[in-house]
């Protein structure tokens, strides 16, 4: 069994095109949707309006998966984050010094969801499925940090082909498709400052929801006697940390170098 972990971004969309062209031997693509209330709306729109029709026309099986509870109901990442009785935070919120906290979002809402589907299709520890991850040559340093489920082994088709992100963009354009936006949850603490600035300027509703989430988390932490946490690396509330266009320039941001981009942001 061979599948691609489809994140909805540039690299995994390039893999979709390469599979349609017969350049890689994958027919099944799995998009683990962490929730319509959590994934960036632009990622969901691209998945449903561009990727799904293209996959169907190309004879590829692009499936949307969701995390399910034991009773069969679905759970979104935002639902877990806002759960009143929760004592932990599954996303890598920032401490006062800017360092990210521990996270379980990638494991619980991406890796385990795909691993469960693979088990249902017959994958086992002795006979694991092959999962292709969209890491390109310019991100090769991340390949040895990939987390995986117990019923899968990991491959990197873009590395095997020696392709960089710019190559992926070219492949997508030559196939007649628009280049997708970078995929991530709209409130992910690994977002760059420029991404936050863009959200504040051009996606005010998402920025407001991000502020509300940060407030919800800190109200709960205060009730537990814990220090506040933040969605940006600047050690202060998002509304203060990400100024408007007339405000002072912020320091350079190294970006999402610590994130599991092979599962979330490709």
Tokens of 76: 């979104």
**What is the pLDDT averaged over residues 108-120?**
94
The pLDDT score that the predictor gives to residue 226 is 93
What's the mean pLDDT when you consider all of the chain? 90
Write the CA distances from 17 to 4, 22, 48, 55, 175, integer angstroms: 12, 9, 16, 8, 7
Q: How many CB atoms lie within 10 A of CB 91?
A: 25
Q: What is the pLDDT of residues 141-153, one digit of tens each?
A: 888 655 677 889 9
The sign of the dihedral angle between the CA atoms of 242, 245, 249, 252 is positive
Angle at 144 between CA 138 and CA 147, to 5 degrees: 115
Distance CA 251, CA 236 (A): 15
Tokens of 81: 């984050």
The pLDDT score that the predictor gives to residue 76 is 97
**Counting Cβ atoms within 10 Å, is residue 192 exposed (0-12), middle (13-18) or buried (19+)?**
middle
DSSP 12-75: HHHHHHHHHTTSS---EEEEE---TTTB-HHHHHHIIIIIHHHHHHTT-EEEEE--B-TTS-B-
Q: What is the pLDDT of residues 160-200, one digit of tens each?
A: 999 999 999 999 999 999 999 988 899 999 999 899 999 99
The pLDDT score that the predictor gives to residue 245 is 64
Distance CA 150, CA 232 (A): 33
Q: What is the pLDDT of residues 32-87, one digit of tens each?
A: 999 999 999 999 999 999 999 999 999 999 999 999 998 989 999 999 999 998 88
**What is the pLDDT averaged over residues 102-125?**
93
Tell me the whole-structure pTM to 2 decimals: 0.90
Query: Please, which pLDDT band fits residue 263 given cuts at 50, 70 and 90?
Result: low
- CATH class label, 2-241: alpha beta
When mean pLDDT is compared over 25-39, 93-107, 225-239, the highest value belongs to: 25-39
Instruction: Round to the nearest angstrom and report the end-to-end CA distance of the chain.
Output: 22
β-pair partners for 153? 130
Tokens of 233: 């690396």
Proportion of the chain in helix, strand, coil states, percent, rounded to 5 = 40, 10, 50
More confident residue, 257 or 134: 134
**What is the pLDDT averaged over residues 107-113?**
93
Q: What ranges do the domains of the chain cover?
A: 2-241
The pLDDT score that the predictor gives to residue 100 is 87
Q: Which long-range contacts (CB under 8 A, 24 or more apart) does 122-131 make?
A: 122/1, 123/1, 123/151, 123/152, 124/151, 125/150, 125/151, 128/152, 128/153, 129/1, 129/2, 129/3, 129/153, 130/1, 130/2, 130/3, 130/154, 130/155, 131/2, 131/3, 131/4, 131/5, 131/155
């Amino acid at each position: 069994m061979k599948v691609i972990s489809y994140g909805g971004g540039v690299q995994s969309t390039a893999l979709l095109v390469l599979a349609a062209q017969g350049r890689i031997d994958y027919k099944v693509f799995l998009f683990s949707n962490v929730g319509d209330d959590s994934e960036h709306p632009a990622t969901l729109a691209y998945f449903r309006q561009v990727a799904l029709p293209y996959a169907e026309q190309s004879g590829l099986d692009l499936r949307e998966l969701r995390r399910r509870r034991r009773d069969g109901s679905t759970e979104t990442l935002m639902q877990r984050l806002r759960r009143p009785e929760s004592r932990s935070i599954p996303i890598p919120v920032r401490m006062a010094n800017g360092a990210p906290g521990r996270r379980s979002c990638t494991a619980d809402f991406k890796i385990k969801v795909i691993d469960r589907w693979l088990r249902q299709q017959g994958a086992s520890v002795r006979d694991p499925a092959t999962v292709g991850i969209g890491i390109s040559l310019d991100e090769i340093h991340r390949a040895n940090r990939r987390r995986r489920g117990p019923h899968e082994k990991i491959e990197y088709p873009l590395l095997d082909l020696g392709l960089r992100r710019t190559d992926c963009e070219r492949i997508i354009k030559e196939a007649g498709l628009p280049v997708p936006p970078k995929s991530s949850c709209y409130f992910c603490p690994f977002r760059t400052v420029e991404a936050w600035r863009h959200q504040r300027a051009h996606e005010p509703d998402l920025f407001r929801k991000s502020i509300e989430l940060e407030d919800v988390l800190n109200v709960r932490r205060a009730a537990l006697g814990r220090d506040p946490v933040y969605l940006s690396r600047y050690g202060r509330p998002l509304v203060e940390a990400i100024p408007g266009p007339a405000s002072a320039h912020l320091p350079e941001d190294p970006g999402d170098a610590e994130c599991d981009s092979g599962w979330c942001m490709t």
